[in-house]
Amino acid sequence: MPSILKTLLFGVGVFVVFITIATILKYASHQMPQENAIFGLFTQTDLMLGLVVAIVVTFSHERKKKIKK
C-alpha cells in the first residue's frame, strides 16, 4: 500500500475517533446543538476542530516515523 494512502487513512481514522468522542460527550452532557447542525449533531466549528486535530496528529505521527528511520 502506498505511504500516502496509509497517511490519508491514518488522518481519516483520527478524524473519526474525534467525531465519535465529541458525539459521546454531547449525548452525555445533553448539550445538542440547536441551530445549523449537520445531521443534527455537528456544527461547523466541531468539524473544523476535528479537521485541525486530525492534521496536527497526522503530521506529528509522520514526523515520528521519519525520526525513527
pLDDT score recorded for residue 26 = 82
Q: Give pLDDT tens digits along the chain (69 positions).
A: 788 899 999 999 999 999 999 888 888 887 766 676 676 677 888 889 999 999 999 999 899 888 877
The closest alpha carbon to 15, from 61, 46, 60, belongs to 46
Kindly report the pTM of this predicted structure.
Answer: 0.80
The pLDDT value recorded for residue 50 is 92
What's the start-to-end Cα distance of the chain, in Å?
Answer: 19
